[in-house]
């Protein structure tokens, strides 16, 4: 056996020879280039973080979802601008923490989130008339590298201090399977007795499965009578965002209902038939579950339920 044939059988020598031949002909293996996210493949929301109000501050959650067919990356920090009615730009002074460049990789269907804080009701001394800015209706995101812009609907609010807002870096959330009705247990229970013509119920969803799951938006709610007949139900919900429920954990949605009659409702007797059950229909074809209304009650304002977003509760 010749020395040349012996060398060619050794795998390390073969690899070295291959690399040398590529250099000789001027070809260098290239890394797979990451595809920047374009605005057309993204969807965004800017929603009130439940329970975040206090001490003149409030928290909002920015969610950016890759709704395209393939993966992409967000590099750097999107420029953010608050928008008022008719898309009119409002004063915006946004600080990202921590600063510096970063890259977020999003697979198809994956999303990233960032936490924002600002004051909705404490005006700066030099704001006109010591009043806050006009109500913000949306948030415009201008992506780096001329990748376009997208508008995120938001829960309307004033952003005082000339639109000053602090927002964390975007962080990709691991891909999670949607919650299915079979893996959740539900309860719909009054938090306390009626007060000032209203009552608060808490809808609790407990993940009984072995894996985390995600509720992609506000579930649809429908009240039923004892016989299972539909009762008028109207749901007033905030801008929703994906919410992950870990195994054995529960998430809660507060629902403000009315016990005092609204305009046009009869002055004698109950407003609506007594609600004894609540049907919860999950997004993304997750099915539905039925739970008892505890205590059962006749609700007014044509079954209006003003609900919060989901929040962690144990």
pLDDT per position as a tens digit, 50-73: 889 988 999 999 999 999 899 999
How far from chain centre, in Å, is Cα 252? 15
Does residue 314 register a pLDDT over 60? no
* Model pLDDT for residues 218-230, shown as the tens digit of each residue: 999 999 999 999 9
Whether the predicted pLDDT of 33 surpasses 80: no
Domains of the chain: 39-173 (2.60.40.10), 181-312 (2.60.40)
Q: Which of 8-22, 50-64, 145-159 has the lowest mean pLDDT?
A: 8-22
Q: 126: alpha, beta or left, given left = phi > 0 and alpha = psi -120 to 50?
A: alpha
Determine contact, residues 309/47, Cβ cutoff 8 Å. Answer: yes
Q: What is the pLDDT of residue 32?
A: 39
Confidence at 300, pLDDT banded by 50, 70, 90: very high
Asked whether residue 127 carries a pLDDT value surpassing 90, the answer given is no
Q: Please check whether residue 132 is in contact with residue 162, taking contact to mean a CB–CB distance below 8 angstroms.
A: no
Confirm whether pTM is higher than 0.75: yes
- Residues ≥6 apart with Cβ < 8 Å to 314: 249, 250
Q: What is the pLDDT of residue 24?
A: 32
pLDDT at 288 over 80: yes
Instruction: Evaluate the omega torsion of the peptide bond into residue 121 and state whether it is cis, within 30 degrees of 0.
Output: no
Q: Does the pLDDT at position 5 exceed 70? A: no
- Per residue in 231-280, pLDDT (tens digit) is 999 999 999 889 999 999 999 999 999 999 888 787 777 789 999 999 99
Look over the chain and give the mean of its residue pLDDT values, rounded to a whole number. Answer: 86
Residues 6+ positions from 209 with CB-CB distance below 8 Å:
183, 247
Mean pLDDT along residues 17-31: 34
Neighbours of 158 (CB within 10 A): 20
* pLDDT higher at 153 or 262: 153
């Amino acid at each position: 056996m010749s020395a040349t044939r012996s060398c060619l059988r050794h795998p390390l020598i073969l690899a070295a020879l291959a690399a040398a031949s590529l250099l000789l002909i001027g070809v260098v293996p290239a890394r797979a280039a990451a595809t920047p996210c374009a605005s057309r493949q993204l969807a965004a929301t800017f929603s009130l973080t439940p329970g975040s109000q206090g001490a003149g501050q409030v928290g909002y959650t920015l969610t950016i979802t890759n709704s395209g067919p393939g993966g992409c990356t967000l590099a750097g920090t999107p420029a953010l601008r608050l928008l008022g009615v008719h898309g009119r730009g409002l004063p915006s002074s946004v600080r990202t923490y921590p600063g510096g460049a970063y890259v977020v990789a999003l697979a198809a269907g994956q999303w990233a989130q960032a936490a924002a804080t600002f004051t909705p009701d404490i005006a700066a001394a030099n704001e006109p008339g010591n009043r806050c800015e006009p109500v913000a209706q949306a948030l415009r995101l201008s992506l780096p590298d001329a990748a376009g812009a997208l508008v995120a609907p938001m829960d309307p609010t004033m952003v005082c201090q000339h639109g000053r807002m602090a927002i964390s870096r975007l962080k990709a959330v691991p891909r999670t399977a949607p919650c299915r009705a079979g893996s959740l247990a539900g309860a719909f229970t009054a938090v306390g007795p009626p007060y000032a013509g209203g009552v608060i119920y808490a809808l609790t969803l407990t993940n009984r499965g072995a894996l985390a799951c995600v509720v992609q938006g506000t579930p649809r709610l429908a009240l039923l009578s004892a016989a299972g007949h539909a009762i008028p139900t109207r749901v007033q919900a905030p801008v929703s965002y994906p919410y992950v429920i870990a195994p054995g954990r529960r998430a809660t949605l507060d629902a403000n209902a009315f016990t005092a009659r609204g305009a046009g409702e009869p002055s004698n007797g109950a407003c609506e038939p007594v609600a004894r059950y609540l049907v919860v229909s999950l997004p993304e074809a997750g099915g539905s579950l039925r739970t008892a209304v505890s205590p059962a009650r006749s609700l007014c304002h044509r079954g209006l339920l003003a609900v919060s977003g989901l929040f962690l509760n144990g």
